[in-house]
Structure 1
Amino acid sequence: MKKILKNKFSQLCNHVSKDYELYVPIENEGIVNFSRWEDEVNINLEIKTNTSPKNFVFPQSETYLKFKSEGKKLKIERVDEEREDYVLFGVRPCDAKAFNLIDHVFLREPVDRLYEEKRNKGVIISAACVEPEETCFCSSFDINPEELKNGSDIFIWTLENSIIWKPLTEKGEELTKKLEDILEDVNEKDLKELEIVKENIRKKIKELPLASLNPQTIQGDLNELFESEVWDQVSKSCLGCGACTYVCPTCHCYDIQDFDGQKNSLRFRCWDSCMFSDFTLMAHGNPRVNQKERFRQRFMHKLVYYPNNHGEYACVGCGRCIEKCPVNMNIVKVIKKLGGEI
């Protein structure tokens, strides 16, 4: 492990930005989101970003084909974005885990080249969650906010006067080597302080309102869960606005659209939501005709279908859906209902 003094943090960012596009959590009017690093920006590593960083590997909208017509001839051009190598600094453990979950979707055969190219260009630096929020429940999904063993390239802890730096992958080792002039070796005092920080995180996690949430209380086979009366109860208040899917770091559904520009047109994909009435709309109609069916699809996917296929739940407990839902309906209430808790 290495460390860097906090008063040298700008120097660290300067070094990183020489070889990479550097993105950090920047606070603006109380809201924190990842933005390109510049001198004098207000970096905040303690507050969870308002939106997840999945946009860096799976943009909300991206063009991948262009069409040009000349008379009866049609020329099709594949769009290859020249993405620079980039670093995401300060990713929360929940969001780092989310990258792994959507990897299962986009990196299995047939591999999604748009996603793969962006994923390969990035270096993920995760930060220990020293200030978990009351809406957080990542530990319910076996995510350790004090230290990730995998899922990112470098893991950091913020101490009183320094930042502890631990590379986890070849990418992480490569970046660490480039910074050897400004990184220092840790000492015994640093390690003792680090253990105190970890213990404080563990205590805070145990005291969170949702610390006891357990998705494994959901029992029954697929048909039983699908036909459960719970869906009638929990879906009644849903507005179908899709806010939960747009802030979710693991949602990955998208639509494909063509923009008709007469002689110059393009094909792009954009985020979609299973909560929308026209989601998967086909010539014969929509296979899910009401909000109950669409609501059920979202949560059956996260809590049943995805784990059946990949052995993990498609939720990381970030709590953003709790914060953003206008009618206070979220995955926590669904888990408790299906598990017979409420």
Structure 2
Amino acid sequence: MKKILKSQISQLWKRINQSYELFIPIEKDNKVNFSMWQEGDQVNLEILKTNSSPKNIIFPQTETYLQFEKNGKKINMESVGGKKEAYVLFGVRPCDVVSFNLLDNVFLREPVDRFYEERRNKGIVISMACSDPEETCFCSAFGIDPENAVEGVDVATWDMGDKILWMAQTEKGKMFTQSLKDLLKEATEEDEEACVQLKNNIKEKVKNLPLSNIDMKKIDKSMKDLFESSIWEDFSAQCLGCGSCTYVCPTCHCYDIQDFDGGKSGERFRCWDSCMFSDFTLMAHGNPRKTQKERFRQRFMHKLVYYPNNHGTYACVGCGRCIERCPVHIDMVKVIKKLGGEL
């Protein structure tokens, strides 16, 4: 295990920025999001969750695939998607790291999304344990330990107040750590004991969170029973169909392909889409889900039933962003408990 004093952390960022694009939680206009670091930026590592997940670094909200230009009777086309520069994501919370693994299940299966694959391969992910989980967190329901390193992270870190403890987890992480050996010092036995105590404190906090008692096994019912449940009518009646929940969700991955026609030139691009929108999967004959009830049901059935049936894990990491952002206070946890017959 390594360590670095917080008083030296800006030196670390400068060093990383020499070889990589560095994305880190930056505070701007009273919001914190993962942004490309520049010297002088207001970094906020204390905030538990960024306003939006860092998903947009590996799966951008909009991404141009192809640019084309008409020259007489000829059309010149150029592929422009993907990620060309190596980058580092610093300070990703465990729930968001796990969300990357869930996206991998979708985009790295055959046929592989080459642009997504390129972005994933170019990145180094550095996680940071959640020292102070919030009341809207329920990641433990999905087997995520916010105090530990999770699968898929290259380097795990822990905020110890005056210092950050650092532990490489993958070969990529070990090579990266080696390149910073003059800045990272060996952690002492006291440092490691303090880290164990921090982990125990986090674990106790998670146990006492108001949403920590979710039992996902209670919704282990037949697909037919869940699909025909009466709860969809009740909850969807409140839903505005604004799509806020899907846009802050770290695991939502639906997208649309659009063409921009600029006359003699144009481009083809991908942009996020939402199953909560009335024109989602719109086809020539119309929309297969005509009511808000059907669209609302699709969102939750996908996360809790369809995705698990295909990949063996739920398509939710319990970050709680959807609970915080919903303008009419629709609660993911209440839906889960209602499906399980608890409410």
TM-score (normalizing by structure 1): 0.97
Q: Is the 8 A contact 2:2 2:167 kept in 1?
A: yes
Q: Is the 8 A contact 1:107 1:116 kept in 2?
A: yes
Shift of 1:29: 4.6
What one-letter code is carried by the residue in structure 1 that aligns with 2:267? L
Q: Where in structure 1 are there 5+ consecutive unaligned residues?
A: none
Equivalent residue of 1:63, what SS? Answer: strand
Shift of 1:83: 2.3
Shift of 1:81: 4.6
- How many residue pairs are counted as aligned between the two chains? 342
Alpha-carbon distance between aligned partners in 2 of 1:81 and 1:299, rounded to the nearest angstrom: 30
- Corresponding residue number in structure 2 for 1:253: 254
- Corresponding residue number in structure 1 for 2:17: 17
What one-letter code is carried by the residue in structure 2 that aligns with 1:25? P
1:236 corresponds to 2:199: no
- Corresponding residue number in structure 2 for 1:286: 287
- Corresponding residue number in structure 1 for 2:307: 306
Note closer, same or farther for the CA distance 1:77–1:36 as it changes in structure 2 (3 Å cut).
closer
- Corresponding residue number in structure 2 for 1:3: 3
Per-residue Cα deviation, 1:280-316 (whole angstroms, up to 9, x for no partner): 0000000001000000001000000000110100000
- Corresponding residue number in structure 1 for 2:157: 156
Per-residue Cα deviation, 1:156-206 (whole angstroms, up to 9, x for no partner): 001132111011111111110000111111111101111121111111111
Alignment of 1:263-278 (within 5 A): 263-278=264-279
- Corresponding residue number in structure 2 for 1:27: 27
- Corresponding residue number in structure 1 for 2:116: 115
Alpha-carbon distance between aligned partners in 2 of 1:248 and 1:184, rounded to the nearest angstrom: 36
Equivalent residue of 2:144, what SS? Answer: coil
Alignment of 1:198-237 (within 5 A): 198-237=199-238
Alpha-carbon distance between aligned partners in 2 of 1:55 and 1:321, rounded to the nearest angstrom: 16
Per-residue Cα deviation, 1:35-59 (whole angstroms, up to 9, x for no partner): 2223333222221101000000111
What one-letter code is carried by the residue in structure 2 that aligns with 1:296? R
Please identify, of 116-125 and 217-226, the stretch whose mean Cα deviation from structure 2 is larger: 217-226
Per-residue Cα deviation, 1:54-73 (whole angstroms, up to 9, x for no partner): 00011111110122223433
Q: Is the 8 A contact 1:25 1:34 kept in 2?
A: yes
Q: Is the 8 A contact 1:149 1:168 kept in 2?
A: no
Alignment of 1:50-199 (within 5 A): 50-81=51-82, 83-199=84-200
Provide the aligned C-alpha RMSD in A.
Answer: 1.2
Q: Is the 8 A contact 2:97 2:150 kept in 1?
A: no
What one-letter code is carried by the residue in structure 1 that aligns with 2:56? N
1:39 corresponds to 2:39: yes
Alpha-carbon distance between aligned partners in 2 of 1:139 and 1:273, rounded to the nearest angstrom: 26
Shift of 1:18: 1.3
State percent identity of aligned pairs: 62
